[in-house]
Amino acid sequence: MKHSSFAIFASVALLMICGLFIFAGCGKAKSAAIEKYGSDRLKLYLPGAYMSDSLIPNFEKQYGVKVIVEYFDSNEMMYAKVQAGDKYDVLIPSDYMIERLLSQKMLQPLDKNALTNIKELSPAVMNLKYDPNNTYSIPYFWGNVGIVYNTKKVDPKVVEEQGYSIFQNPDYAGRIYWYDSERDSFMIALKVLGYSMNTENKDEINKAYEWLLKMNDTMNPAYVTDEVIDAMTTGKQKDIAIVYSGDAATVLKENKDMSYFAPNEGTNVWYDAMVIPANAQAPKLANEFINYVMTYDVSLENTKAVGYASPNDKVLKEMSAPDGLFGQNKAYLPRSGYDKDEIFHDNEVIRSMISELWIKVKAHKAN
Amino acid sequence: MKLKINPFFFMTGPYLIWITAMIVIPMLLIVLYAFTIEGNDVATIQFSLDNFVRFVTDKTFLFVVGKSLWIAFLTTIICIILGYPIAYIISKSRGRQSLILILLLTLPTWINMLVRTYAWMGILQEGGVLSNLLEMIGIPGVSLLYTDFAVALGMVYNFLPFMVLQIHTSLAKMDNSLLEAASDLGANKVQSFLRVTLPLSMPGVVSGITLVFLPAVSSFFIPKLLGGGQYVLVGNVIENQFITAGKWNFGSAISLIMAIIIIFSMWLTRKIEVQPRKEEN
Amino acid sequence: MHKPNRIWNIFSKTMIGFSLLFFYLPIVYIIVFSFNGKRSLSELDGFSLQWYEKMFADPIMMDSVVVTILIAVLATIISTLLGTITAIGLSKCGKSFRNAVERVNELPVMNPDIVTGISLLMLFSALAVSKGFVTMLLAHIMFCTPFVILSIMPKLRTLDPNLTDAALDLGCTPFQAMFKVIVPQIRPAIFTGALIAFTMSFDDFVISYFVTGDGVQNISILVYTMSKRVDPSINALSTLVILIITVALLIVNIVPHFLHRKKTPLETK
């Protein structure tokens, strides 16, 4: 008896201590921020390793607020949590996910009066189909999908000539990393075959499935996700990989043997943007935060730290100028105005169809 | 005992309430999803076996389940083969020494599983620690990453401590007088091991199997990182259905099928365990 | 055993040697790369403490250590207590009742984590509980307790029921019988169960991810979401964790053990 009551006592005591811990961190009221923005707590939900380390501490200091950050490792995981009713003030999803959130009425319009820095953004990232007047979203980073290859092992001419077809070139069997994402995989297969990556034609999707099966069966690819960044940076492993341009910029910066190419067949251009969910608790502060991120200084610091292309016009121009930090980096500035490049649309039927087909491609190997 | 209410029954009370709230109700939600199709709401609910039909008529899913069971089975067998001697040796060492060995064995499990798996990636990959070592002794260009070996290694690495702990528990408190009696009766060491120690440690082996086999069947980070994305196991399919495809109904159905297969295999394991013990008595 | 024979000695030493090598190879690797001069987990380039500086400068990383250890300790204490009481109670109940509870108890063990995670997410959302530290703790107790019960049940089956009955006949309450008679006999199993519960809680990502909120995150959540870029400060964090745990274990376990052992003669086989 003694033992159990002691243990219960101990656990209750511990519970109270940790309760104190949690509250001590965020309990102090800062009335100035509450008066001005209605809240002094901002909850942010964004992909991991996607923001410079100094951004949040600086924002907190300047506005006298507390920012709570949570990370997700895929748009879909974020969606599952937000849909289940978790409350955040700012999310940073991708274009197609913004489309889906909008169709579910899960976002609220931004306060354009508060977004005074919107004029600093590059016209290349504004007024896109997923949110035509930027009513709901402000771009955060953007880029495309392309091929990173080791110039010591692979002739640039071959890559530029063959584009995505190089992933069926038997010379490189066993030497390739394939990005393990159904959206990107089907995008590539559809582009190789000359179709739109947003096709709703089931025959075209089935042909793309056949193409992926052949790639899977003949090329012995390693299906990876973000491990590819380190693997290509060391350069000692495989020679060709599918990589997002922002990550490719990091690889190229650290390993001069690596090069990047966005194939002529066209590719996916994507935009990750800041949005405010409909159930946000501090929308006023959220607008203020979005406005803060758009400023020149913050954008500059952010793009330098993360390596993805900035939506801020001035920053983008400086970074990609010949003497800029990423001026000689082939991966930094996404190609724009190329008519074969496309943005993803969210289509529920196609989404679940390719999701299932992709599992079948990967599981096919051991058959 | 039959007539009055068993006082020990009350001791299970708190847990009964707990599992009803935290296990049974959430599980019923899964069952509900499994037997309905998408887009149903409470008012127009319609039960259907579509999800299950889809599962059994698709070769890919059956193959994936088979592969998951096979890998988990292999992991379990290797864990028994390696874990039993280790546990036996530990149980035969002196008190202080065996405590230290147990702690040494469990210490690595307190480093995050993903971090440990990443470490194995660094060790196994081309240009990694192991391939450099092999190169030094004249075997160049070995890459063990993204092979069956890597997956099995990662699984065994993660689950072996559980097997050792379970077997050790059942060996540690074994009554030594039984062994003495056996040797007095003329049994040699091998005989007394086979006739006394082994049967008495079987409950430990069985709960070890439970702790290795069950998580191994549904694990998906280890195969994904060490085997590459092509290593599709049932855990990956379920994750994919719930997260990427957003098909909670089908995902629930697969989970339910897995649960049934697992309950069946555990029931089988216990049956096999119970039989020889009866003979022994 | 009685007469230690040579071959057995050599065999056991090699076996233990190899298994320790196997278990500690990645650990050594993690520690070595935490001092790496550059941002890589495959190439070493000089010695530096930059990843430790980065870790200590990052409040999110330090918070995650606190959360992980708090949750693991609390979940282990509560689930060991709950699991022990339940297992003992169950062992004295009817077979069909016991079997039914045991089957339900195994559900969280064999359900893929993602399913458990989503089902709890649905539960907490339905109840409109705001997610954070408490929901994460509840979830951890939920998946740790079955492991404790699983560890203890086999041991209980081998106990002599007459002892407990005798204690009850002599006027013990069931609780007294439990602590005076049963618990001492199953102590190693309880210890094993607690150890497994702690490990499970310490390592969990998927379930924690779905039931947490309000910025509360454990080391696993941090690692999974930070793993996009190789970040050796994760190695520094792991090295720190292993250091904390080793020290804690030394203090809690070995020191009193040694002090105690000096007074009583060593156990011999």
Q: What is the CATH number of the domain that holds A32?
A: 3.40.190.10
Contacts of C267 in chain B (CB under 8 A): 94-95
For residue A348, give how far its alpha carbon lies from the nearest alpha carbon of chain B (Å).
9
Tokens 């546990």 locate to: B87
Residues A210 and A345 reside in one and the same domain: yes
Q: Enumerate long-range contacts of A297-300, CB under 8 Å, 24 or more apart.
A: A298/A55, A298/A58, A299/A120
Q: Is the pLDDT of residue A121 over 90?
A: yes
Which H/E stretch holds residue C76? helix C59-91
Amino acid, single-letter form, for residue A115: L
Q: Which of A355, A357, A361, A364 to mutate to test the interface with B (most CBs of B within 10 A)?
A: A355
What's the N-to-C CA distance of chain A in angstroms?
A: 59
DSSP A345-356: ---HHHHHHHHH
Instruction: Assess contact for C87 and C146: CB atoms under 8 A.
Output: no
Q: Select from B63, B236, B237 the Cβ nearest to the Cβ of A367.
A: B63
Domain contains A134: yes
Residues A190 and A255 reside in one and the same domain: yes
> B27 versus C251: which is more confidently predicted?
B27
Residue B157: predicted pLDDT:
96
pLDDT tens-digit map of A212-264: 999 999 999 999 988 899 889 988 889 999 999 999 999 999 999 999 999 99
Q: Is the pLDDT of residue C268 over 70?
A: no
C210–A81 C-beta distance less than 8 A: yes
Q: What's the CA angle centered on C216, arms C245 and A24, to 5 degrees?
A: 90
In which domain, by residue range, is A60 found? 26-142+271-320
> A366 versus C12: which is more confidently predicted?
C12
pLDDT tens-digit map of A297-307: 999 999 999 99
Q: Is the pLDDT of residue A25 over 70?
A: no
B24–C89 C-beta distance less than 8 A: no
Residue A114: predicted pLDDT:
94
* CA–CA separation, A260 and C230 (whole Å): 20
Residues A243 and A359 reside in one and the same domain: yes
Residues A175 and A222 reside in one and the same domain: yes
For residue C12, give how far its alpha carbon lies from the nearest alpha carbon of chain A (Å).
38
Domain contains A7: no
Residues A37 and A182 reside in one and the same domain: no
pTM here is 0.86
* CA–CA separation, B243 and B36 (whole Å): 18
- The verdict on B202 touching A (C-beta cutoff 8 Å) is no
For residue B139, give how far its alpha carbon lies from the nearest alpha carbon of chain C (Å).
19
Q: How far is CA B230 from the centre of its chain?
A: 22
For A17, A41, A282, C126, C210, the CA distances from A88, given in Å and listed in that order, are 27, 10, 9, 18, 15
* CA–CA separation, C187 and A54 (whole Å): 50
Q: Which CATH number fits domain C58-233: 1.20.120.450, 1.20.1250.20, 1.10.3720.10, 3.30.460.80?
A: 1.10.3720.10
Domain contains A325: no
Residues A238 and A358 reside in one and the same domain: yes
Residue A9: predicted pLDDT:
45
Number of Cβ atoms within 10 Å of the Cβ of C44:
14
A216–B230 C-beta distance less than 8 A: yes
Domain count for chain A, please give it: 2
pLDDT tens-digit map of B87-116: 999 998 887 788 889 888 888 888 888 889
Structure tokens at A322: 């010949």
* CA–CA separation, C226 and C234 (whole Å): 9
pLDDT tens-digit map of B65-76: 999 999 999 999
C179–A4 C-beta distance less than 8 A: yes
**Nearest one of A281, A258, A268, A251 to A343, comparing CA atoms:** A268
**Nearest one of B232, B91, A199 to A189, comparing CA atoms:** A199
**Nearest one of A285, B92, A261, A164 to C5, comparing CA atoms:** B92
Burial of residue C155, with CB atoms counted within 10 A of its CB: 0-12 exposed, 13-18 middle, 19 or more buried: buried
Average pLDDT over residues B41-53: 79
Q: Which of C73, C214, C252 to mutate to test the interface with A (most CBs of A within 10 A)?
A: C214
pLDDT tens-digit map of A67-106: 999 889 889 989 988 988 889 999 999 999 999 999 999 9
For A243, A359, B151, C12, the CA distances from A353, given in Å and listed in that order, are 24, 10, 29, 55
> C185 versus C144: which is more confidently predicted?
C144
Domain contains A14: no
Strand A107-108 with A240-244, pairing: unpaired
Q: Which residues contact A9 (CB under 8 A, 6 or more apart)?
A: none
pLDDT band at C267 (very low <50, low <70, confident <90, very high): very low
Q: Select from C133, C225, C230 the Cβ nearest to the Cβ of A71.
A: C225
B240–A363 C-beta distance less than 8 A: no
pLDDT band at B1 (very low <50, low <70, confident <90, very high): very low
Average pLDDT over residues A280-295: 96
The domain locations on chain C are 58-233
Amino acid, single-letter form, for residue A262: A
Interface of C with A in 53-82 (CB under 8 A): 58, 60, 63, 66, 70, 73-74, 77-78, 81
Residues A275 and A264 reside in one and the same domain: no
Residue B110: predicted pLDDT:
81
Q: Which of A54, A61, A71 to mutate to test the interface with C (most CBs of C within 10 A)?
A: A71
Q: Which residues contact A158 (CB under 8 A, 6 or more apart)?
A: A166, A169
Report helix, strand or coil for B158: helix
* CA–CA separation, C124 and C112 (whole Å): 19
- The verdict on B220 touching C (C-beta cutoff 8 Å) is yes
Contacts of B126 in chain A (CB under 8 A): 236-238
Amino acid, single-letter form, for residue A69: V
**Nearest one of B265, B267, B235 to B251, comparing CA atoms:** B235
Residues A255 and A303 reside in one and the same domain: no
* CA–CA separation, A227 and C248 (whole Å): 34
Amino acid, single-letter form, for residue B16: L
Structure tokens at C129: 């509980």
Residue A325: predicted pLDDT:
94
Chains within contact range of chain C (3+ C-beta pairs < 8 Å): A, B
Residue B4: predicted pLDDT:
55
Residues A105 and A117 reside in one and the same domain: yes
Domain contains A327: no
- Residues forming a β-bridge with A309: A142
Query: Domains in chain B, please, with CATH?
Result: 51-280 (1.10.3720.10)
Give the relative orientation of helices C183-203 and C59-91 as an angle to the nearest 10 degrees: 150
Structure tokens at A148: 């990173």
Structure tokens at B223: 């195969």
Domain contains A77: yes
B203–C112 C-beta distance less than 8 A: no
Residue B190: predicted pLDDT:
84
Residues A275 and A263 reside in one and the same domain: no
Q: Which of B232, B233, B241 to mutate to test the interface with A (most CBs of A within 10 A)?
A: B232
Mean pLDDT of chain C: 85
Domain contains A157: yes
Structure tokens at A96: 């197609």
Q: How far is CA A362 from the centre of its chain?
A: 23
pLDDT tens-digit map of A163-187: 999 999 999 999 999 999 999 999 9
Q: Is the pLDDT of residue B27 over 80?
A: yes
Structure tokens at B111: 């480093």
Domain contains A57: yes
pLDDT tens-digit map of C78-126: 999 999 999 988 888 888 888 888 888 888 887 888 888 888 987 888 8
ipTM: 0.85
For residue B71, give how far its alpha carbon lies from the nearest alpha carbon of chain A (Å).
13
* CA–CA separation, A328 and B213 (whole Å): 52
Residues A180 and A233 reside in one and the same domain: yes
Lowest mean pLDDT among A17-21, A106-110, B129-133, C102-106: A17-21
Chain A residues contacting C via beta carbons under 8 Å: 1-4, 7-8, 10-11, 14-15, 18-19, 21-22, 25, 43, 47-50, 53, 68-73, 77, 80-81, 84-86, 226, 229-230, 233-234, 236, 247, 250, 254
B258–C112 C-beta distance less than 8 A: yes
- The verdict on B230 touching A (C-beta cutoff 8 Å) is yes
Amino acid, single-letter form, for residue A136: Y
Residues A207 and A63 reside in one and the same domain: no
pLDDT tens-digit map of C168-180: 888 888 778 778 8
Chains within contact range of chain A (3+ C-beta pairs < 8 Å): B, C
For residue C238, give how far its alpha carbon lies from the nearest alpha carbon of chain B (Å).
6
For A175, A268, A272, the CA distances from A336, given in Å and listed in that order, are 30, 11, 16
> A258 versus A22: which is more confidently predicted?
A258
Name, of A168-182, B7-21, B32-46, B115-129, the range with top average pLDDT: A168-182
